């Protein structure tokens, strides 16, 4: 029971600390507002970059994409769209001649 109460007090203290930090960040003069050197007003597109990329950015290069063998556009079953594989032939064991006893006369 003591641990349960202690954990609640720690959580409450952290919550109060975060709330105070939030209030202080709102009143702090961290930013001076918009730069006046920019010339005011919007304009330009932020999608246009200065220079084209010469190499892909990070990661391993992906293999070339291959189209899917079947496209699921209608209400057909997947089994109906793909050809059935050929059945494998089963080799039957070689028949051994049965020994028929001769009849006595």
Average pLDDT value for the chain: 77
Q: Alpha carbon 29 to chain centroid distance? A: 41
CA neighbor of 71 nearest in space, from 62, 81, 60: 81
Instruction: Quote the CA–CA distance of 11 and 86 in Å, as a whole number.
Output: 66
Q: What integer pLDDT is reported at residue 16 of this predicted model?
A: 96
More confident residue, 24 or 63: 24
**Locus of tokens 């006046």:** 36
pTM attached to this predicted model = 0.28
The answer on pLDDT for 14 being more than 80 is yes
Nearest to 81 by CA among 72, 89, 68: 72
Residue 11 is predicted with a pLDDT of 97
70 within 8 A of 81, measured Cβ to Cβ: yes
CA distance 41 to 34: 11
């Amino acid at each position: 029971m003591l641990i349960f109460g202690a954990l609640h007090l720690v959580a409450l203290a952290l919550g109060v600390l975060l709330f105070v930090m939030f209030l202080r960040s709102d009143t702090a003069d961290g930013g001076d507002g918009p730069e006046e050197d920019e010339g005011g007003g919007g304009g330009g597109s932020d999608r246009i970059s200065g220079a084209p990329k010469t190499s892909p950015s990070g990661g391993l290069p992906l293999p070339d994409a291959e189209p899917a063998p079947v496209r699921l556009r209608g209400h057909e079953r997947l089994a109906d769209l793909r050809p059935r594989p050929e059945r494998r032939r089963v080799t039957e064991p070689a028949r051994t001649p049965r020994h028929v006893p001769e009849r006595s006369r």
